[in-house]
Structure 1
Amino acid sequence: MKQDRIKLLSEESVPKAILVMSLPVVTGMMVQVLYNLADTFFIGKLNDANQLAAANIALPVFILSMALAGVIGTGAASYISRALGEKKAVEADKTLTIGMVYLLIIGFIVTVFTLIFLKNLVAVLGASAETFPYTFSYVSVLVWGMIPVMCNFALGQLLRAEGDAMGSMFGMLIGTVTNIILDPLLIFTFSLGVSGAAIATVVANSISLLFYLVRYKKGKTLIHFRLSLFSFDKKISKEIFTIGLPSSISQGLMSVALIIMNNIAASYGDTVIAGLGVASRIVTIGTFIFMGIAAGCQPLVGYSYGARNIKRVDSIILHGISITSIIGLLLGIVMWVFARSFIGAFTNVVEVIDAGTIVLRALVFSLPIVGGQMLCTTSVQAMGKALPSLILSISRQGLLFIPLLLGLNRLFGFNGFIYAQPLTDAIMLIIAFAILKGILKKDTNRL
Structure 2
Amino acid sequence: MQERSNRFLAQEPVGKLMGMYAIPCIISLLVAALYNIVDQIFIANATYLGSYGNAANTVVFPLTVIALAIAVLIGDGCCAFVSICLGSGDPESAHRSIGNAIVLCVAASVVLTALYLIFQQPLLTVFGGQINEETFRLSREYFFFLPLGICSLLSQISLVAAMAAINNMIRTYGALDPIFGQAEYAQIPMAVVGIVMKFFQIVISIAVGLAAGCIPIVGYNIGAGLKARARRLFTLLLSAEAAVGAMALLIVEVFPRPLIFLFGAAGESVYYIDFAVHSFRIYLCMMILACVNKGAFIYLQALGKALESTLLSTVREVVFGVSFALLLPVFFGLDGVLYSMPVSDVLTFVLAVFLIHSTYKSLRT
Give the TM-score band, short-chain normalised: 0.7 to 0.9
Instruction: State the 1:153 CA deviation.
Output: 4.4
Query: Percent of aligned positions with the same letter in both sequences?
Result: 25
With over 3 angstroms needed to count, the CA separation of the structure-2 counterparts of 1:315 and 1:51, relative to structure 1, is: same
Question: What are the Cα deviations for residues 253-295 of structure 1, in whole angstroms up to 9, with x where unaligned?
Answer: x111111111111231311111111122123332221111111
Please name the residue that 2:142 is paired with: 138
The answer to which of 255-264 and 302-311 deviates more is: 302-311
Q: 2:322 aligns with which of 390, 398, 402?
A: 402
1:136-175 to 2 correspondence within 5 Å? Answer: 136-143=140-147, 148-149=150-151, 153=153
Please name the residue that 2:289 is paired with: 369
SS in 2 for 1:365: coil
Please name the residue that 2:182 is paired with: none
Aligned 8 A contact 2:210 2:237 in 1 = yes
Please name the residue that 1:173 is paired with: none
RMSD: 2.4
Question: Counterparts of 1:398 and 1:353 in 2: how far apart (Å)?
Answer: 30
Question: What are the Cα deviations for residues 70-99 of structure 1, in whole angstroms up to 9, with x where unaligned?
Answer: 231122122111112123222222111111
Question: Counterparts of 2:204 and 2:363 in 1: how far apart (Å)?
Answer: 30
1:46-445 to 2 correspondence within 5 Å? Answer: 46-47=46-47, 48-128=50-130, 129-143=133-147, 148-149=150-151, 153=153, 251=158, 254-267=159-172, 268=174, 269-347=186-264, 348=266, 349-350=268-269, 351-442=271-362, 444-445=364-365
Question: Counterparts of 2:168 and 2:230 in 1: how far apart (Å)?
Answer: 42
Aligned 8 A contact 1:304 1:313 in 2 = yes
Question: What are the Cα deviations for residues 35-58 of structure 1, in whole angstroms up to 9, with x where unaligned?
Answer: 121111111111321111100111
Instruction: State the 1:133 CA deviation.
Output: 1.4
Question: Counterparts of 1:259 and 1:340 in 2: how far apart (Å)?
Answer: 27
Question: Counterparts of 2:91 and 2:66 in 1: how far apart (Å)?
Answer: 32
Give aligned pairs, total. 345
With over 3 angstroms needed to count, the CA separation of the structure-2 counterparts of 1:265 and 1:5, relative to structure 1, is: farther
Instruction: State the 1:442 CA deviation.
Output: 4.2
Aligned 8 A contact 1:82 1:303 in 2 = yes
Q: Which runs of 5+ in 2 are unaligned?
A: 175-185
Instruction: State the 1:358 CA deviation.
Output: 1.1
Aligned 8 A contact 2:29 2:153 in 1 = no
With over 3 angstroms needed to count, the CA separation of the structure-2 counterparts of 1:353 and 1:8, relative to structure 1, is: farther
- Whose helix fraction is larger, Structure 1's or Structure 2's? 1
Instruction: State the 1:436 CA deviation.
Output: 3.7
SS in 1 for 2:89: coil
Aligned 8 A contact 2:32 2:153 in 1 = no
Aligned 8 A contact 1:294 1:375 in 2 = yes
Please name the residue that 1:22 is paired with: 22
With over 3 angstroms needed to count, the CA separation of the structure-2 counterparts of 1:430 and 1:9, relative to structure 1, is: farther
Question: Counterparts of 1:8 and 1:43 in 2: how far apart (Å)?
Answer: 47
Question: What are the Cα deviations for residues 325-347 of structure 1, in whole angstroms up to 9, with x where unaligned?
Answer: 12321331122111011101211
Query: Which AA in structure 1 matches 2:121?
Result: K
Instruction: State the 1:31 CA deviation.
Output: 2.3
Instruction: State the 1:401 CA deviation.
Output: 1.8
Aligned 8 A contact 1:329 1:367 in 2 = yes
Question: Counterparts of 2:310 and 2:169 in 1: how far apart (Å)?
Answer: 27
Question: What are the Cα deviations for residues 204-259 of structure 1, in whole angstroms up to 9, with x where unaligned?
Answer: xxxxxxxxxxxxxxxxxxxxxxxxxxxxxxxxxxxxxxxxxxxx9x71xx111111
SS in 2 for 1:46: coil
Query: Which AA in structure 2 matches 1:16?
Result: K
Aligned 8 A contact 1:61 1:255 in 2 = yes
The normalised TM-score by structure 2 is 0.87
The answer to which of 356-365 and 52-61 deviates more is: 356-365
Question: Counterparts of 1:27 and 1:116 in 2: how far apart (Å)?
Answer: 34
Query: Which AA in structure 2 matches 1:298?
Result: I
Instruction: State the 1:355 CA deviation.
Output: 2.0
Q: Which runs of 5+ in 1 are unaligned?
A: 158-247
SS in 2 for 1:131: helix
Instruction: State the 1:102 CA deviation.
Output: 1.4
With over 3 angstroms needed to count, the CA separation of the structure-2 counterparts of 1:311 and 1:68, relative to structure 1, is: same
Please name the residue that 1:36 is paired with: 36
Instruction: State the 1:8 CA deviation.
Output: 4.3
With over 3 angstroms needed to count, the CA separation of the structure-2 counterparts of 1:44 and 1:8, relative to structure 1, is: farther
Aligned 8 A contact 1:80 1:92 in 2 = yes
The normalised TM-score by structure 1 is 0.72
